[in-house]
Amino acid sequence: METGQSSHASRTDKTSRSDLHRRGFFFSTLRWLFGSPLAVGLTSLAATFTVWLLASVRFMFPNVLIEPPLRFRVGRMEQYVPGQVETRHADRHGVWIVNGHFEGRLQLYALRVECTHLGCTTIWLESEQKFKCPCHGSGFYKDGIHFEGPAPRPLERYAIHLADDGQIEVDKSRTFRHELGEWEDPDSFIPV
CA distance 90 to 92: 6
Contact 117, 162 (CB under 8 A): no
pLDDT digits (tens, 9 = 90+) for 3-42: 555 555 555 555 555 555 766 777 777 666 666 777 777 7
pLDDT-based confidence at 92, cuts 50/70/90?
confident
The string of pLDDT tens digits covering residues 112-132 is: 999 888 888 898 999 999 999
Residue 109: pLDDT band (50, 70, 90) is very high
What's the rounded Cα separation, in Å, for the pair 63 and 67? 13
Confidence band of 67 (pLDDT split at 50, 70, 90): confident
